[in-house]
Amino acid sequence: MTNEQLKQEILRISNVNVTKCMKCGKCTASCPAYDEMEYHPHQFVSMVNNGDIQPLLNSDSIYRCLSCFACMERCPRGVEPAKLVEAVRLMAVRKQGANRMKAEDVPCMLDENTPGQLLVSAFRKYSK
């Protein structure tokens, strides 16, 4: 896919209007995964706008987002960066054989208190 096609696909999945962003950085300042991310929420917005999707697809940043919706809540322009992160992550894991988490990974994650909620949530985010 061309950069423009990738961009249109992300916009279609996320339904986000990236042109509303005024580059204030409040989303990134709110992000509790900031230190662990190579690309931050405001960069997702500008990189999607520029059709620069490939580096996002290849970055672990898409697996560090907690889906905590802080960036969505605190954006003064209603841009909803978390929906872009979700769309890029889905584009990555929807590829055949690209599951980030596999059933074999589970046993070593478990301890006696691990809630089912953790496993179903992680599978929904990291696998297809």
The residue ranges that bind another protein (CB under 8 A) are: 12-15, 32-33, 35-36, 63-64, 66-70, 72-74, 80, 82-83, 86-87, 90, 100-101, 105, 109, 111, 113-122, 124-126
In angstroms, rounded to a whole number, what is the distance separating the alpha carbons of residues 127 and 103? 10
Q: Out of ligand SF4, another protein, none, which partner does residue 41 contact, by CB within 5 to 8 A per kind?
A: ligand SF4
Which region, judged by CB under 6 A, interacts with ligand SF4, from 5-13, 52-60, 73-81, 100-108?
73-81
Phi and psi, residue 7, nearest 5°: -60, -50
Helix ranges restricted to H, 65-113: 70-74, 81-93
Q: What is the largest CA-CA distance in the chain?
A: 48
Question: Measured at the alpha carbon of residue 82, what is the angle toward residues 77 and 85, in degrees to the nearest 5?
Answer: 130
Query: Per CB under 6 A, does 70 bind ligand SF4?
Result: yes
Q: Indicate which single residue of 6, 10, 16, 31 sits in contact with ligand SF4 (rule: CB under 6 A).
A: 31
